[in-house]
Amino acid sequence: MKKGQIYSGTVENIAFPNKGIVKCEDKKVIVKNVIPGQKISFVINKKHGDKCEGRLLETEEKSPLEVNEKACPHFGVCGGCLYQSLLYEQQLEIKKKQVKELIDAVCDDYDFEGIIGSPEIDAYRNKMEFSFGDEYKDGPLALGMHKRGSFYDIANVDECRIVDSDIRKILTATEDYFKKSGLSYYHKMKHEGYLRHLMVRKAKKTGEIMVDLVTSTQCSPDLNPWVDLLLSLEYDGRLVSILNTKNDSLADVVSDEGTDILFGQDYITEGLFDLEFKITPFSFFQTNTLGAELLYSKVREYIGEFNGNTVFDLYSGTGTIAQVLAPVANKVVGVEIVEEAVKSARINAEKNGINNCEFIAGDVLKVVGTLEDKPDLIVLDPPRDGIHPKAIGPIIDFGVDRIVYVSCKPTSLARDLEIFQARGYRVVKVCCVDMFPATANVETVVLLSKTS
């Protein structure tokens, strides 16, 4: 196979998260963003010895699996969802198979409990971040998601299926308003322009809505007309917060360099089980509220009967897991690097009448060795890249009998499980929880037990 050459083939399998395996000329080529059973054409764009990677050019024949007639109209253009064309049961089968293959590669003997589906398939997300840009070079202003495979082009997603009508309404009204405003979007290469992102949160249980316009500081327009427009719309929920976050960072991420309240307050309240959580713009909270209840129920199940003194909740976010576990522990210690999330966790615990949780702001890597308490059980819920290699050692050194590991990236999970097993732990149980229907992502919960 030659770089730059065009080939055709059928997708045999798909490895997490979106790596299609295509057999062609007795070789296996990786092509991203495809579905098993599709016949595709692709161009070889990377070659490392016998390993080849291709870029998808065209789907010549649909997969027999693609029978979902309710697929999002933006599917295939927007880069947000991979499995919109599949029935939900088939999505679950693919994710379950991917995770089991990854865990089987590093674990010999464990109980695989399959996958738990999301309570909602459509309109399940409680948070979305949209980007300003253009749909093509030098085109008119657009607001939406990045097009599949593009760092620059933006796809309009005003009929997005994974958010509800209130979020879509805010998206459309904001795009229409700023198209007429004459304000420029932020050009990532030139580092010029004003409009960067639109972040919208809507609490599933309370219906409270937050809108945050993320901009540079290169100009200071009057945003009151935009605020008045949003307040004039009719919602199923209730708009309680309109914010303007300043971000002059060169990176294409939503970063907080100061936030002004344009209307209402700087938080919304969400429910989880019988608890309430104050969510600020940049505090972490699971994007699927009803799915999170299933996820944390599985965590509680894996913990089982626990009469120990202290639980460590490492990578604790806004303290959701810590507060869910508080009733079965004398003390829960949460560690989280985002200070805003720690502040919210403390407020949430007080609001919920929980007084046995302590939340510490800091990097787990740096903090874990300085903690005065000694845990009887550890819960881990790290970011996508997993646990920092230098942090795993000190975590293992606590010598707790059980560890519950919650992962949103099974490839990172499999890597970390190898280390835990080499240091005296065995994998007892594994269960997937689908928090992200239509996408390639999945959560996995693992129970680890000390063997020596």
Q: What is the pLDDT of residue 321?
A: 93
Q: What is the pLDDT of residue 183?
A: 95
How are beta strands 443-450 and 377-380 bridged, if at all?
unpaired
Our answer to whether residue 408 is catalytic in this structure is: yes
Q: What is the pLDDT of residue 159?
A: 94
Q: What is the pLDDT of residue 308?
A: 72
Q: Cα(56)–Cα(35) distance, rounded to whole angstroms?
A: 11
| Token reading at 122 | 């459509």
CB of 360 closer than 8 Å to CB of 410: no
What Cα–Cα distance (Å) separates residue 290 from each residue in 141, 155, 315, 436? 35, 28, 21, 11
Q: What is the pLDDT of residue 160?
A: 95
Number of alpha carbons in the 13 Å side-chain half-sphere of residue 428:
15
Q: Cα(298)–Cα(291) distance, rounded to whole angstroms?
A: 11
CB of 6 closer than 8 Å to CB of 43: yes
Sheet holding 238-246, edge to edge: 154-156, 141-146, 127-134, 195-202, 208-215, 238-246, 259-264
Q: What is the pLDDT of residue 186?
A: 93
How are beta strands 208-215 and 195-202 bridged, if at all?
antiparallel
| The one catalytic residue among 52, 72, 160, 408 | 408
In this structure, the number of other CB atoms found within 10 A of the CB of residue 222 comes to: 8
Q: What is the pLDDT of residue 76?
A: 86
Angle (CA) 96 79 230, round 5°: 115
Per-residue pLDDT of the chain (452 residues; tens, 9 = 90+): 888 999 999 999 999 999 999 988 888 899 999 999 999 999 999 988 778 999 999 999 999 999 998 889 999 899 889 999 999 999 999 999 999 999 999 998 999 999 999 999 999 999 999 999 998 888 899 999 999 888 789 999 999 999 999 999 999 999 999 999 999 999 988 889 999 999 999 999 999 999 999 999 999 999 999 999 999 999 999 999 999 999 998 777 777 788 999 999 999 999 999 999 999 888 888 999 999 999 999 999 999 877 778 999 999 988 999 999 998 899 999 999 988 889 989 999 999 999 999 999 999 999 988 988 899 999 999 998 999 999 999 999 999 999 999 999 999 999 999 999 999 999 999 999 999 999 999 999 999 999 97
Q: What is the pLDDT of residue 234?
A: 97
Secondary structure (H, E, C), the chain: CCCCCEEEEEEEEEECCCEEEEEECCEEEEEECCCCCCEEEEEEEEEECCEEEEEEEEEEECCCCCCCCCCCCCECCECCCCCCCCCHHHHHHHHHHHHHHHHHCCCCCCEEEEEECCCCCCCCCCEEEEEEEECCCCCCEEEEEEECCCCCCEEECCCCCCCCHHHHHHHHHHHHHHHHHCCCECECCCCECCEEEEEEEECCCCCEEEEEEEECCCCCCCCHHHHHHHHHCCCCCEEEEEEEEECCCCCCCCCCCCEEEEEECCCEEEEECCEEEEECCCCCCCCCHHHHHHHHHHHHHHHCCCCCCEEEEECCCCCHHHHHHHHHCCEEEEEECCHHHHHHHHHHHHHCCCCCEEEEECCHHHHHHHCCCCCCEEEECCCCCCCCHHHHHHHHHCCCCEEEEEECCHHHHHHHHHHHHHCCEEEEEEEEECCCCCCCCCEEEEEEEECC
